[in-house]
């Protein structure tokens, strides 16, 4: 990994890209396993991972399948009075049930993703707390109905792993995965939301369980599809500085095909069907404003079923994936 002086941009080499691809496939694979598969030592993998993490290029966190939570996943948009958006965004970022809190447009609008454990906790935030916050002028909430893409990002540049290497990295589950989320999982999931690669002794200390119990529970939740891992890569660190939220309107009969088409765009970091006056939410990452113009006019503009879009540039990301320590 190299950082250029004039742009402060991180340049990933082939080993960095292979390590990232391996972590996308199996976030908790041991460094020894990753090293054996990509052909370097475990110490090399550990050094590359630590360097990327400590320089805030990557952040690997555990994520609960929102469809299994009573509160599900929502995206909220808030308009604030001038000069008040930053403290409101910071307050949202401190909450354990929020992620991807961002200041948009002229700095008076906030966008945030909410994953509440229960409907009651969701309603407390959306229906009560936000509306009682004096600087908040308006709130709209969109339920996430289907996620088309939230995996690898095109700006990372793909690694070079073969199908055989990918197969060797994929986690193997020996059971059918009949687990379900229970309230006692909260401390485990909170610890993984801070560090998805937290060692079992750290997770044991956070939960009060034995290391073997923690290992079995992580395995069971992953096998059941309740727990996955998000390798968040900082686009700005890789030289991509134009990020935008796009709300698009698509006829319902064409929503699935249009969402799938957007998910194939290398610029689309996130794409989901939502409720609300618009029904397709896109988070796009481009190199600069010229690249963003190309994406909006050629890529999105080339999809015939997108009839209307609203765009809001991201001014600052206040909170990314995961939970603040």
In this prediction, residue 6 carries a pLDDT of 39
CATH class of the domain at 236-314: alpha beta
Kindly report the number of other CB atoms within 10 A of residue 260's CB atom.
12
Q: What are the residue ranges spanned by the domains of the chain?
A: 11-55, 66-144, 236-314
Q: Please provide the CATH number assigned to the domain covering 11-55.
A: 1.10.10.10
Tell whether domain 66-144 is in CATH 3.30.70.920.
yes
The conformation of residue 124, written as its DSSP 8-state character, comes to I
Which DSSP string corresponds to 194-232? H-TT--HHHHHHHHT--HHHHHHHHHHHHHTTSEEEEEE
In this prediction, residue 4 carries a pLDDT of 44
The reported pTM is 0.83
CA angle 194, 200, 203 (to 5 degrees): 45
- Evaluate whether 66-144 and 236-314 have a shared fold: yes
| Averaged pLDDT in 10-residue chunks for the chain of 325 residues | 52 90 94 97 96 91 80 86 91 87 91 83 74 82 88 64 93 74 91 95 97 94 90 84 95 97 93 94 94 96 94 92 73
Q: How far is CA 42 from CA 57, 97, 134, 166, 268, in A?
A: 20, 35, 52, 17, 32
Burial bucket for residue 304 (CB in 10 Å: 0-12, 13-18, 19+)? exposed
CA neighbours closer than 13 Å in the CB half-sphere of residue 128: 7
């Amino acid at each position: 990994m190299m950082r250029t002086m004039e742009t402060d941009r991180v340049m990933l080499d082939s080993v960095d890209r292979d390590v990232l691809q391996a972590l996308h496939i199996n976030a908790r694979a041991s460094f020894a396993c990753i090293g054996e598969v990509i052909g370097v030592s475990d110490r090399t993998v550990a050094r590359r991972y630590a360097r990327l993490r400590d320089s805030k290029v990557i952040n690997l966190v555990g994520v609960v399948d929102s469809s299994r939570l009573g509160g599900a996943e929502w995206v909220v948009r808030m308009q604030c009075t001038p000069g008040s958006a930053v403290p409101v965004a910071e307050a949202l970022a401190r909450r354990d049930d929020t992620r991807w809190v961002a200041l948009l447009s002229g700095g008076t609008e906030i966008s945030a993703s909410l994953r509440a454990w229960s409907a009651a906790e969701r309603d407390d935030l959306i229906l009560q707390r936000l509306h009682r916050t004096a600087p908040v002028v308006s709130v709209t909430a969109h339920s996430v109905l289907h996620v088309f893409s939230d995996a690898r990002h095109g700006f990372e540049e793909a690694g070079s792993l073969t199908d055989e290497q990918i197969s060797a990295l994929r986690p193997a589950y020996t059971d059918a995965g009949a687990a379900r989320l229970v309230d006692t999982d909260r401390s485990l999931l909170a610890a993984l939301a801070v560090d998805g690669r937290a060692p079992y002794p750290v997770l044991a200390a956070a939960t009060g369980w034995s290391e073997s119990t923690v290992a079995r529970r992580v395995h069971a939740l992953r096998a059941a599809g309740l727990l996955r891992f998000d390798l968040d890569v900082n686009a700005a660190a890789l030289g991509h500085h134009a990020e935008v939220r796009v709300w698009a309107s698509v006829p319902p009969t064409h929503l699935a095909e249009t969402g799938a088409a957007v998910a194939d765009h290398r610029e689309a970091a996130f794409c989901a069907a939502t409720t609300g006056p618009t029904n397709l939410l896109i988070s796009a990452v481009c190199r600069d404003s010229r690249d963003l113009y190309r994406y909006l006019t050629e890529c999105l503009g080339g999809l015939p079923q997108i009839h209307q879009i609203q765009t809001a540039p991201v001014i600052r990301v206040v909170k990314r994936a995961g939970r603040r320590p």
